[in-house]
Amino acid sequence: HKDIYSKVENHLTDYPHRIPRNNAIFKQYSDHLLAYLNQIYFSPLSYKDQLMSREQAQILGSIRRIIINMNLIIRVTDKGNNFYIGSANEFE
């Protein structure tokens, strides 16, 4: 909430908008933003989304077990878009 609010506030107080920081609209925006984020965060997931998240968690757990059992390591490549999977012994 604070991060989003501060970015919006900084944008609106700078050129070309130049809205004063003590304007009541900022307090109203902060209240609405906090209420919206709370509503979204605390609303329950649909059944389909619950199943999908459970399945993805199981897949992730399976991948972690394989990595640990086979003594592998995952690293991000220099370009940052790909992963390198190799033996942990190569990096010692």
Helices (H), the chain: 2-13, 24-42, 47-69
- Asked whether the beta carbons of 25 and 19 are under 8 A apart, the reply is yes
54-85 pLDDT, tens digit per residue, is 999 999 999 999 999 999 998 888 877 888 88
- CA 26, 30, 36, 40 dihedral sign is positive
CA dist 22 and 26 (Å) reads 7
28-58 pLDDT, tens digit per residue, is 999 999 999 999 999 999 999 999 999 999 9
